Structure 1
Amino acid sequence: MAQPTGEPVEDYDYEALPPNFSLWQNMAAGAFAGIAEHTVMYPIDAIKTRMQIIGASPAATYNGVLQGTYRIASGEGLLSLWRGMSSVIVGAGPAHAVYFATYEAVKHVMGGNEAGVHHPLAAATSGAAATIASDALMNPFDVIKQRMQIQGSSKMYKSMTDCAKYVYRNEGLGAFYVSYPTTLSMTVPFTALQFLAYESISTAMNPEKKYDPVTHCLAGAVAGGFASALTTPMDVIKTMLQTRGSATDPELRTVNGFVAGCRLLYRREGMRGFFKGVRPRVLTTMPSTAICWSAYEASKAYFIRQNDAL
């Protein structure tokens, strides 16, 4: 950006948002990142959801990602792997916009944008605050998504709107948020771990903190895989709560919270049940977070260049 003659040019660290980087630009970058992250890896997420459901029929029981992909595609049609993705597209953009806007705001308040200084506490706290805000917006869309991912959902719901109406009519508004506390019990530590790992890895790989696509991609993948593996038990319970309304098992339909879900899962499947779907979850999350961070950082770099050209 051109500077008036006689005034010093102000340099800023890439990781520290410049003064002319507006809120809407940060939210646009976050929205782009969220949509890119979720849509690319959606089919594997669908398989993970089915693997986590308790008491699934033999036709909906899979031993791995490849087997699950083949059986769903051959038995229900290839496009069924993307069933429910419209809910993600509608919800992920606004949710990730709020996510990254909150992250940058809290990080700035905590001094995490100071150039040349690594602030792990600021990164972890910012990530936790960001996920509390974004999950409040995303949770209903996630419920709809998982309802549409389960086997036989095409016979119950014709569209995202139809699914939302069905859930509301038969289970009430609370069904969209019954899993919210459990979701937070997973996503808050997940996000804190992910942001802490991402900031630490990216700082080690790129101490100058310049825009570097390779660094953002690798750091995002490793951070996401690490965090997703550790938080899989909470994800299993979240899936139980979000799909309970479609279950035929009376005991499953009455599960009303995290503790009740843990008790039921442990009684039926033991400790092993808490890690159902861990491989597809990690397999989904690593490229998803790599895509998310790469898209976000690329968007941020683009807006910075555009602002500097003014």
Structure 2
Amino acid sequence: MAAPVEEEYDYEGLPPNFSLGANMLAGAFAGIAEHSVMYPIDLLKTRLQIVQPTPAAVQQSITRSILNISKVEGFRNLWRGLSSVVLGAGPAHAVYFATYESVKHAMGGNKGHAHEHHPLAAAASGASATIVSDALMNPFDVIKQRMQMQGSIYKSVPHCAKTVFRTEGLAAFYVSYPTTLCMTVPFTALQFMTYESLSKILNPSGGYDPYTHCGAGAVAGGIAAGLTTPLDVIKTLLQTRGNSKDLEIKNAKGLWHTAGIIYRRQGTAGFFRGLKPRIITTMPSTAICWSAYEMAKAFFIARNDRT
């Protein structure tokens, strides 16, 4: 009688008993790594996207701008609000990647061999993942951007959360959520399609390859970030409106109303404020995110093989 043949699976397909918990741990690790490394440039992006950017943020280069902020406000201020990102990014990315893998599997994206290409499954998986994760992350993102503003009155993440809730209500944490989804759904769909496509081209075997994961992640993130910058500008204005002394900005009510304010005051160029730091932040961030996620996933798969 022939010996039973062990079931084979591709690296990208994950083993049948790959747990949701392991997937979420891999995603949480990826999220914290992604946001922490490039935080000072993200702070600069936020300040540039405010309708009246602070003088310290408007310099000839990103390096000079960051150095100027550090000189004027102190080095530690470059990291104000980071703890909000860490608190939110872990759970949000855990849910993000768990949803991504679940939807991708349900749509047949993990069927067949590693060389097979499933761009629609990847795009749908990414879009589904961001809808779920943004619902969790949006309040933390609001707190982060309030603390990133020059002269921020908030002493800590809990102080910011309590103050915003007391003065503006729960709605302040979600006023930008529809705009966030309008940005992140196409951003994520573009990113996942590009990442999956580049990964198939650069790494047709489908095995764990850190160089491919890093390079494909960076290119995918840069393309998606550039194309969705106008929506990111609108999101930033909505998330920081409560601290504005400008009544029109303070009363901004949604995507189209906010877009109208930006267009009347700064024209089409206003929608691309912070484009360069956004791309420069996103490329290494997504490279780190995908590399960290794939590394954690490979670790769990290797451990599964040993048991």
- TM-score by length of structure 2 reads 0.97
C-alpha distance in structure 2 between counterparts of 1:254 and 1:96, whole Å: 31
**Aligned AA for 1:235?**
D
- In the TM superposition, residue 59 of structure 1 has moved relative to its aligned partner by 4.2
State how 1:150-165 maps to structure 2 within 5 Å. 150-153=149-152, 156-165=153-162
2:163 pairs with 1:166: yes
C-alpha distance in structure 1 between counterparts of 2:10 and 2:167, whole Å: 52
**Aligned AA for 1:180?**
Y
2:13 pairs with 1:16: yes
C-alpha distance in structure 2 between counterparts of 1:253 and 1:281, whole Å: 24
- In the TM superposition, residue 68 of structure 1 has moved relative to its aligned partner by 1.5
2:211 pairs with 1:214: yes
- In the TM superposition, residue 287 of structure 1 has moved relative to its aligned partner by 0.3
For 1:134, the equivalent position in structure 2 comes to 133
1:6 to 3, 6, 10: 3
3-state SS of 1:19 partner: coil
Once the two structures are superposed, what CA deviation does each residue of 1:25-83 show, in whole Å capped at 9, x if it has no partner?
Answer: 00000000000000001110000000000023434534431121111100000111000
For 1:47, the equivalent position in structure 2 comes to 44
C-alpha distance in structure 2 between counterparts of 1:59 and 1:41, whole Å: 19
Identify unmatched segments of 5+ residues in structure 1: none
For 2:272, the equivalent position in structure 1 comes to 275
- Contact 1:60/1:151, CA 8 A, preserved across alignment: no
C-alpha distance in structure 1 between counterparts of 2:220 and 2:286, whole Å: 8
C-alpha distance in structure 1 between counterparts of 2:52 and 2:88, whole Å: 29
C-alpha distance in structure 2 between counterparts of 1:242 and 1:29, whole Å: 29
**Aligned AA for 1:128?**
A
**Aligned AA for 2:281?**
T
2:306 to 298, 305, 309: 309
For 2:122, the equivalent position in structure 1 comes to 123
**Aligned AA for 2:304?**
N
For 2:64, the equivalent position in structure 1 comes to 67
- Contact 2:44/2:57, CA 8 A, preserved across alignment: no
C-alpha distance in structure 1 between counterparts of 2:171 and 2:14, whole Å: 38
- Contact 1:51/1:62, CA 8 A, preserved across alignment: no
3-state SS of 2:252 partner: coil
**Aligned AA for 2:129?**
A
- Contact 2:27/2:96, CA 8 A, preserved across alignment: yes
Change in CA separation of 1:169 and 1:63 when aligned onto 2, cut-off 3 Å? farther
For 1:31, the equivalent position in structure 2 comes to 28
Identity in percent: 65
C-alpha distance in structure 1 between counterparts of 2:102 and 2:233, whole Å: 31
C-alpha distance in structure 2 between counterparts of 1:63 and 1:261, whole Å: 27
2:213 pairs with 1:227: no
C-alpha distance in structure 1 between counterparts of 2:8 and 2:156, whole Å: 50
- Contact 2:109/2:121, CA 8 A, preserved across alignment: yes
C-alpha distance in structure 1 between counterparts of 2:23 and 2:266, whole Å: 44
For 1:190, the equivalent position in structure 2 comes to 187
* Count, aligned residues: 304
For 1:178, the equivalent position in structure 2 comes to 175
1:292 to 283, 289, 293: 289
C-alpha distance in structure 2 between counterparts of 1:64 and 1:171, whole Å: 36
3-state SS of 2:109 partner: coil
Give the alignment's Cα RMSD to 1 decimal: 1.0
C-alpha distance in structure 1 between counterparts of 2:32 and 2:67, whole Å: 25
- In the TM superposition, residue 9 of structure 1 has moved relative to its aligned partner by 2.0
- Contact 1:224/1:289, CA 8 A, preserved across alignment: yes
1:259 to 256, 260, 263: 256
Identify unmatched segments of 5+ residues in structure 2: none
- Contact 2:56/2:65, CA 8 A, preserved across alignment: no
**Aligned AA for 1:151?**
Q
Change in CA separation of 1:111 and 1:171 when aligned onto 2, cut-off 3 Å? same
- In the TM superposition, residue 10 of structure 1 has moved relative to its aligned partner by 1.8
2:213 pairs with 1:243: no
3-state SS of 1:13 partner: coil
C-alpha distance in structure 2 between counterparts of 1:135 and 1:32, whole Å: 17
C-alpha distance in structure 2 between counterparts of 1:25 and 1:284, whole Å: 28
- Contact 2:176/2:238, CA 8 A, preserved across alignment: yes
Once the two structures are superposed, what CA deviation does each residue of 1:229-280 show, in whole Å capped at 9, x if it has no partner?
Answer: 0000000000000000011111100001000111000000000010000000
**Aligned AA for 1:137?**
L
